[in-house]
Amino acid sequence: MSTRNATPLDDFVAERLPAWVALRRDIHREAELGFTEYRTVAVLADRLGQLGFALRMGSEVMAGESMRGRPAPELVTRRAASAAEIPGGAAVARALPDGMTGLVAELRRGDGPVVALRFDIDALPVNESADRAHRPAAGGYRSANAGVMHACGHDGHAAIGIGVAEWLADPRSRWSGTIRLVFQPAEEGGRGAKPMADAGVVDDCTHFFAAHLGCGLASGRIAAAATSMLYSTKLDVRFRGRAAHAGGSPHEGRNALLAGATATVGLHAISRHGEGRSRVNVGRMDAGTARNVIADHCLLEMEVRGETEAVADYMEQRAREVIAGAAAMHDVTHEIEVVGQTIGGDADATAADIVASAAAATPGVREVLPVWALGGGEDAPFFMRRVQARGGIATYFVIGADLAACHHAVDFDFDEASIGTGVAVYARVVEQASAAA
Amino acid sequence: MSTRNATPLDDFVAERLPAWVALRRDIHREAELGFTEYRTVAVLADRLGQLGFALRMGSEVMAGESMRGRPAPELVTRRAASAAEIPGGAAVARALPDGMTGLVAELRRGDGPVVALRFDIDALPVNESADRAHRPAAGGYRSANAGVMHACGHDGHAAIGIGVAEWLADPRSRWSGTIRLVFQPAEEGGRGAKPMADAGVVDDCTHFFAAHLGCGLASGRIAAAATSMLYSTKLDVRFRGRAAHAGGSPHEGRNALLAGATATVGLHAISRHGEGRSRVNVGRMDAGTARNVIADHCLLEMEVRGETEAVADYMEQRAREVIAGAAAMHDVTHEIEVVGQTIGGDADATAADIVASAAAATPGVREVLPVWALGGGEDAPFFMRRVQARGGIATYFVIGADLAACHHAVDFDFDEASIGTGVAVYARVVEQASAAA
Amino acid sequence: MSTRNATPLDDFVAERLPAWVALRRDIHREAELGFTEYRTVAVLADRLGQLGFALRMGSEVMAGESMRGRPAPELVTRRAASAAEIPGGAAVARALPDGMTGLVAELRRGDGPVVALRFDIDALPVNESADRAHRPAAGGYRSANAGVMHACGHDGHAAIGIGVAEWLADPRSRWSGTIRLVFQPAEEGGRGAKPMADAGVVDDCTHFFAAHLGCGLASGRIAAAATSMLYSTKLDVRFRGRAAHAGGSPHEGRNALLAGATATVGLHAISRHGEGRSRVNVGRMDAGTARNVIADHCLLEMEVRGETEAVADYMEQRAREVIAGAAAMHDVTHEIEVVGQTIGGDADATAADIVASAAAATPGVREVLPVWALGGGEDAPFFMRRVQARGGIATYFVIGADLAACHHAVDFDFDEASIGTGVAVYARVVEQASAAA
Amino acid sequence: MSTRNATPLDDFVAERLPAWVALRRDIHREAELGFTEYRTVAVLADRLGQLGFALRMGSEVMAGESMRGRPAPELVTRRAASAAEIPGGAAVARALPDGMTGLVAELRRGDGPVVALRFDIDALPVNESADRAHRPAAGGYRSANAGVMHACGHDGHAAIGIGVAEWLADPRSRWSGTIRLVFQPAEEGGRGAKPMADAGVVDDCTHFFAAHLGCGLASGRIAAAATSMLYSTKLDVRFRGRAAHAGGSPHEGRNALLAGATATVGLHAISRHGEGRSRVNVGRMDAGTARNVIADHCLLEMEVRGETEAVADYMEQRAREVIAGAAAMHDVTHEIEVVGQTIGGDADATAADIVASAAAATPGVREVLPVWALGGGEDAPFFMRRVQARGGIATYFVIGADLAACHHAVDFDFDEASIGTGVAVYARVVEQASAAA
């Protein structure tokens, strides 16, 4: 593929890449959890506004009743305040009530297809490595928010989104129609896509594209469609027991911590499914108050996943039985709250072909794969299905990026050159979609 | 016992009780955890100083190297700051470095025995009930420190200590010698007595007395000696594993949360001992960061207890095996830190007789029992053994008090009239010890 | 106590002891499980008949409807056949239908009290040590029945019973009235006493005595009354799930073995009780058929115990919750069957005094204790309560015996000289009861 | 496919099918576990000898040092005796020492390829349903050996082997070269193939074919090659603790049953692997002796599986950690014995083409699939790899058969018409392999 000649787009990417990397690092340093991306949205809105995009945000682009797994109000307040350090940020924060941190930026250029591109922007509750071998630590852009980290590359996604916006606003870009950039909060936990899809932000779209960096695909490789996106359900489980003095009257206690521990072990022991991959994880447990008091409360934050809807249903059903049984074993009560969900999605061959063709035309792309199996879940299918149900086409593709460690690890990092590759591929995808229409 | 006549002491108690109740409620509202009782000590020091007691505190009365289970520095700083609201409190806070919140108040009146009385002053990490049926909530003195509560009656102990000080400073009291009031931090967790004992604060004492309110004994009853104080060891256990994406590469994780859950279940399943009561409790568990990440850390706050040293040793030995085995099961590392300890203690018959006699002479005391079995642990025996080893005598007695709920429960409360009873008994104990010498 | 002179009884004991030891060893070698003691009863019946005792057995002395935890019919048949090797044994076996292996032997001598003595005769499902250091192994009387062992000393109890019978039938013995020797099957598991008590075999008794060898009391010591006999309930628990291929379709299985394992861990983790000793043990588990099949069945043989009825009730209630919860966790069904029970019993002071006096008069008894705390359960209280409810008096005493290993261990053995002590004390108990009447 | 004309082979199959069904039912009724198939081998040897095949068996065709998971000697003796009811059976039994129940039957017809066909003949430790809805129960050929059942269709495999032998011995069959029928014991547990492969029984083969009935493929469908045969390791785990009286001295026990239960739960909770299917099952547990004795022994019969060697290695490694950790938790010792193994195998395209072609030519075959994913493990790959390593070709194919229940279930049964299909396909495979050479 060495024969491809550099185009104006490619020159543009080469020239702008340092700026996008700087943006990525800024967002990385100010990592924000799902539904609290106030500063991040303020930064993005500032840039997109300057580029001439029309902006909608907050309750205009999110159906509040579809929001699950909302953050603590104190955290929302704190992050909203942080937006004020960005020009225009205070106004943005006011426009994002109650954690409604979705942002939609639109640009029109005559008639043509309505192409939606989706970029997720949230970070994870991971405590970033301070080791000097971790580039963000050595480079001074390690997360300033203790316990919150961009450990999945969404900072890169956001930077790609701005890069694409810059090109599409550039007179040299060749497209007509409508471009809609969907900056989605709270992909982690499978929470942000559904409220935006339910608000109708992609209802009139002819094309929908979303992508992820990394996912085990090396730099220079592009996969036109992701398969094996796991169905998942995110659950918060609360056990309530009865406190008592652990020395004097332990029999009067009803041990919620022990119920949670029993449930945890039982959940991980749910049998594999013969018809597809299954997953279960209790990722957080917080229980009890003092060592000499029988614990009267326990919170489990967990998820189940399945390769198919049937497998996912089996896992959720069994998980509910395990939780209820563990509560009964220890004579405590329990509540289960669904706080997030992801579903599987199928790419349209036509949409995947556009990506494959765009990738093949991009310098630095050494290999284009038709499909790539994702191990994780994604909530982009909520958009994909909405578009497909109305006659549009969609795909979720993968932008290869060498990784320093696996996704969600404390020393996760990715090859920042892939931001340029991502911008170039996305830009060509839009141009080709426009040309084909 | 209706024939007892009111004495000047009894009149004094009746007159001053409302003030002591008010003091108890003030301390209750500003409940402070072990080794962070800055405001509490400031209040006590202010009153004791006004009464003419000589005060020693901080590193003068605590051996720093014996302190275990120290609190987080931020919490120490915050509570130290809170002392400033009390007259002279800022100076007191400076005199209590690094959580050394012990206070010793001494009064001399000629020659005679050296009598130590010990009062513990710390609260528990319990979230106090806000229910209107809970008197402190209805009365406006529910804990203002969220998650911290005087759920064991040490607020009452502190108030009794001030009451006794007032009487002993009163010219009507009949005693000679030296009175030493030991206000001890961090009894919960068995942490505060040993550093004070190791600092020698009771080394020259001829008599040592300590007591607890409640413990299942009704108002109007006094037990001259407690038996069955359980030996206990308090442990913090930390598991360290490896984080990984729970969907994509769960096999690369090493699940510290699951190790903690397995250990918890195994700990509670340690076999009973045939030769005496045993206890085990994991009272707190905090593990993991996010539901879709294999948890790489887990903290257990736990304790084991035994009726005898042999039973306690068996429990600790088995607990260590269970913890190490659970870590090995899940291929994670672990650390065990001893953060507190209590030991058993035997009363001297002569000391118990003094209490019995004092109690019998006190109006409102309907019954005096020779012994009462405590279910819990106590660190007062660290003082008792120190005194006894140097030829002094000691007892730990129980002041009956009707309770609204069991010790350590969120709606614990006690009959405040027992504060008066406690002052009267303690005062007579000192007078009788003095008279007998 | 060296001043006691040897009496005719003591000479008799010294002379006959070797024969009783030989009998004990014969019974030891032919150890039989509860409700299958056919050969043992045949041996006892043969000797008692020769001594002139009137014999009743089988359904005459057992209420069939009260029998629980019956053995497998094949085993009953096999043991019944083994009785034929004893003179008259075939007739005895016919008189003991369906595992009704109770035997009552009675002797009358004029008017007087009706004194019942109870001796339990069953062995345990323990695989006896073949180590040469184990005296029965070295001496050639190790159990010939694989997996069945007299590991609790009931072989000694049976031998004592015969020794007492010999003396009471001897013209030198001084008593009048009625002597009733109750040879009880199936004490282990708490199964044999209730059917005999319900059949009324002690209803007309003025006195009831039973005893145990060993129990932690050394040779030469006698305790006049046992305390702390634990209340217990013996349960068989059956889980039923669904089998499936563990490789191809594990999700179609419902894992009864995993439910049983979960229940087992949960049962052992039931909280200690603050008001008295508690016990729980799953002593046997048998589950599944093949390693590559999800197990569809699981049997747990378990027991719970408590120092008081309230503690025992707590344990049983919590155990039932744990079992039901574990079944629910794994979506399997369960059944709980009560197969045995023991209850606590209180000695009458008068009865204990008779034992104390008899013991004090017996050469070789170095110390007489008023009470001794038993750790285990006993079903003798079913007889004791029946007698006490009708105006009689009762005690359960302990005959000290040095042990080679603890009760129920594979290398359990006891000092056989204690058989002689037991005969002498029992004989004097009868004579004193007769004299006092 | 309705255009295929019946050939002499097809007529032969139609005519002989009832005899093969009768043979299958005879073998079904006399189901024998792995390495104890004495009667089964006697039946097969008798028929094959009459057909003119040269027979080798026992240590001639099995490498004793490769045998793992041998059965109890008593069972071997019992089944060896059962062979005597078959003509010549006593001699056969003598030729199969120590559970070496392999049989190889060979027929030569001039020059040509050496074609091996492998048929596994063992049953499972499953207790066959006695329900009238279960055809073998209604038809009088339910297993006569309690707890042993042909629940995987190997009875059908054996009958197919005889059918193929009959046709190949028939003058109408068209082939030349050498036919070697390998009747393999102990496929369940992955034990029988390796000793036969190690003995060299397929070392000179140009072709190797094996097949399974059912596996989720309906009657009338043939898959030319199986994929996804799981790697597996079969383990026996033994825990040894210390017995003690559960009431009196539970702390002196070391609970092997509880260790086994803890291990079981932990084993099932081993994390899924991100790179392929994994399985774990504890299929049997047998522990302890009596409910009132702390259990001193526990046996687990278990297996782990993986889609790839890496996944299987991960599972075995983690299983060993879980087992060792659980033993450490409960202070007991443990031993792990590998008693069987299966490995993955890849079909040669040429071999699969032969099967596909043969299947396409067979009346009643409605569909031929190139591959079919097996969920379980198979030890046939030990033969496949041996042949392939020496230049031969191999495939493992699947013969569709409607099933009454899933493999290994108590009411497993298969459509017996598939026996005819199997014979016809296998016969054509041999003829085509011969023709192509």
Position D116 pLDDT exceeds 50: yes
Q: Which of B248, B271, B331 sits opposite D251 (nearest CB)?
A: B271
- Chain B nearest-CA distance from A12, in A, is 35
Domain shared by A174 and A313, yes or no: no
Mean pLDDT across B217-235: 90
Closest to B295 measured CA to CA, from B303, B287, B286: B287
Q: Hey, is the C-beta of C258 within 8 angstroms of any chain D C-beta?
A: yes
Mean pLDDT across D231-242: 95
CATH number of the domain within which D363 lies: 3.40.630.10
Flag if D246 and C215 touch (Cβ within 8 Å). Answer: no
Which of A284, A291, A293, A337 to probe the B interface (max B CBs under 10 A)? A291
Query: How many domains does chain B contain in total?
Result: 2
Flag if C293 and D408 touch (Cβ within 8 Å). Answer: yes
Rg (CA), chain B: 23
Write out the two tokens for B73: 């520095």
Domain shared by B235 and B213, yes or no: no
Give tens-digit pLDDT for C358-392: 999 999 899 999 988 776 778 999 999 999 999 99
Is C18 a member of any domain? yes
- A/B interface, count of CB pairs below 8 Å: 226
- Chain D nearest-CA distance from A317, in A, is 17
Q: Which of C268, C269, C272 sits opposite B279 (nearest CB)?
A: C272
User: How many C-beta atoms lie closer than 10 Å to residue B419's C-beta?
Assistant: 29
Is D404 a member of any domain? yes
> What's the confidence (pLDDT) of residue C2?
38
Flag if B277 and C272 touch (Cβ within 8 Å). Answer: yes
Residue B272 with chain C: CB contacts under 8 Å: 272, 277-279
**Average pLDDT of chain B?**
94
**Average pLDDT of chain C?**
94
Question: For chain A, which residues score pLDDT lower than 50?
Answer: 1-3
Flag if C292 and D376 touch (Cβ within 8 Å). Answer: yes
> What's the confidence (pLDDT) of residue A189?
86
Give tens-digit pLDDT for D265-299: 999 999 999 889 999 999 999 999 989 899 999 99
Position D375 pLDDT exceeds 70: no
> What's the confidence (pLDDT) of residue D227?
78
Residue keyed to tokens 């469609």 = A225
**D294 and C283 in contact (C-beta within 8 Å)?**
yes
Q: Hey, is the C-beta of D248 within 8 angstroms of any chain A C-beta?
A: no
> What's the confidence (pLDDT) of residue C229?
77
Flag if B321 and D327 touch (Cβ within 8 Å). Answer: no
Give DSSP secondary structure letters for A347-412: --HHHHHHHHHHHHTSTT--EEES-EE-SS--STHHHHHHHHHTT-EEEEEEE---BSS-TTSTT-
Position C212 pLDDT exceeds 90: yes
The distance of Cα A180 from the centroid of its chain, to the nearest Å, equals: 18
Is B1 a member of any domain? no
Give tens-digit pLDDT for B116-126: 999 999 999 98
**D175 and D109 in contact (C-beta within 8 Å)?**
yes
| Side-chain-facing half-sphere of C216: CA atoms under 13 Å | 13
The distance of Cα C82 from the centroid of its chain, to the nearest Å, equals: 21
Identify the domain boundary among D319, D342, D365.
D342
Using a pLDDT cut of 70, give the percent of chain D over it: 98
Kindly indicate the confidence band of residue B2, based on its pLDDT and cuts at 50, 70 and 90: very low
User: How many C-beta atoms lie closer than 10 Å to residue D198's C-beta?
Assistant: 16
Taking CA atoms, B186 is separated from B99, B124, B198, B339, D352, in Å, by 10, 9, 15, 11, 77
> What's the confidence (pLDDT) of residue A149?
96
> Nearest residue on chain C to B271, judged by CA atoms?
C268
Using a pLDDT cut of 90, give the percent of chain C over it: 85
- Chain A nearest-CA distance from B344, in A, is 14
Write out the two tokens for B255: 């699940």
Domain shared by B144 and B286, yes or no: no
> What's the confidence (pLDDT) of residue D167?
97
Flag if D232 and C216 touch (Cβ within 8 Å). Answer: no
| Side-chain-facing half-sphere of D110: CA atoms under 13 Å | 6
Domain shared by B219 and B359, yes or no: yes
Q: Which of C265, C274, C279 sits opposite B272 (nearest CB)?
A: C279
Q: Which of C265, C266, C278 sits opposite B272 (nearest CB)?
A: C278
Interatomic CA distance for residues B353 and B370, integer angstroms: 8
Kindly indicate the confidence band of residue B228, based on its pLDDT and cuts at 50, 70 and 90: low
Domain shared by A331 and A183, yes or no: no
Q: Hey, is the C-beta of D318 within 8 angstroms of any chain B C-beta?
A: yes
Mean pLDDT across C301-321: 95
Mean pLDDT across B188-202: 95
> Nearest residue on chain B to A243, judged by CA atoms?
B409
Domain shared by A127 and A55, yes or no: yes
Flag if A251 and C275 touch (Cβ within 8 Å). Answer: yes
Domain shared by D240 and D372, yes or no: no
Residue A318 with chain C: CB contacts under 8 Å: 331
Kindly indicate the confidence band of residue D92, based on its pLDDT and cuts at 50, 70 and 90: very high
Residue keyed to tokens 């994929």 = D227
Mean pLDDT across D329-348: 92
Is B147 a member of any domain? yes
Residue keyed to tokens 């200690």 = C272
Domain shared by C18 and C72, yes or no: yes
> What's the confidence (pLDDT) of residue C374?
77
Mean pLDDT across D63-71: 92
CATH number of the domain within which C243 lies: 3.30.70.360
**C265 and B270 in contact (C-beta within 8 Å)?**
no
Residues 6+ apart with CB under 8 A from A281: A268, A302, A303, B246, B250, B291, B292, B293, B294
> What's the confidence (pLDDT) of residue C375?
64
- Chain C nearest-CA distance from A187, in A, is 30
| Contact map slice: B 267-306 vs D, CB within 8 A | 269, 271-275, 294
Mean pLDDT across D237-256: 93
Identify the domain boundary among D278, D312, D342.
D342
**B338 and A208 in contact (C-beta within 8 Å)?**
no
> Nearest residue on chain D to B263, judged by CA atoms?
D329
| Contact map slice: B 97-156 vs C, CB within 8 A | none
> Nearest residue on chain D to A265, judged by CA atoms?
D269
Mean pLDDT across B101-121: 97
Kindly indicate the confidence band of residue B189, based on its pLDDT and cuts at 50, 70 and 90: confident
Q: Which of C273, C327, C331 sits opposite A251 (nearest CB)?
A: C273
**D202 and D182 in contact (C-beta within 8 Å)?**
yes
> Nearest residue on chain A to D268, judged by CA atoms?
A269
Flag if C266 and B265 touch (Cβ within 8 Å). Answer: yes
Identify the domain boundary among A342, A371, A396.
A342
Domain shared by D378 and D298, yes or no: no
Flag if A272 and D272 touch (Cβ within 8 Å). Answer: yes
Kindly indicate the confidence band of residue D54, based on its pLDDT and cuts at 50, 70 and 90: very high
**Average pLDDT of chain D?**
94
Which of B257, B314, B316, B329 to probe the D interface (max D CBs under 10 A)? B329
Which chains are within 8 Å of A by 3+ CB pairs? B, C, D
Burial B175-205, CB ≥16 within 10 A → b, else e: bebbbbbbbbbbbbbbbbbbbbbbbebbeeb
> What's the confidence (pLDDT) of residue D340?
87
Flag if D243 and C126 touch (Cβ within 8 Å). Answer: yes
Is D187 a member of any domain? yes
Position D120 pLDDT exceeds 60: yes
Domain shared by D278 and D417, yes or no: no
Mean pLDDT across D404-432: 94
Interatomic CA distance for residues C346 and C385, integer angstroms: 8
Position D310 pLDDT exceeds 50: yes
Domain shared by D51 and D165, yes or no: yes
Domain shared by A189 and A200, yes or no: yes
Kindly indicate the confidence band of residue B1, based on its pLDDT and cuts at 50, 70 and 90: very low
Is A3 a member of any domain? no
Flag if A325 and C326 touch (Cβ within 8 Å). Answer: yes
- B/C interface, count of CB pairs below 8 Å: 21
Q: Which of A269, A274, A279 sits opposite D268 (nearest CB)?
A: A269
Domain extent at residue A291: 231-342
User: How many C-beta atoms lie closer than 10 Å to residue C220's C-beta?
Assistant: 18
**C69 and C189 in contact (C-beta within 8 Å)?**
yes
> Nearest residue on chain B to A256, judged by CA atoms?
B283
Is D17 a member of any domain? yes
Is C383 a member of any domain? yes
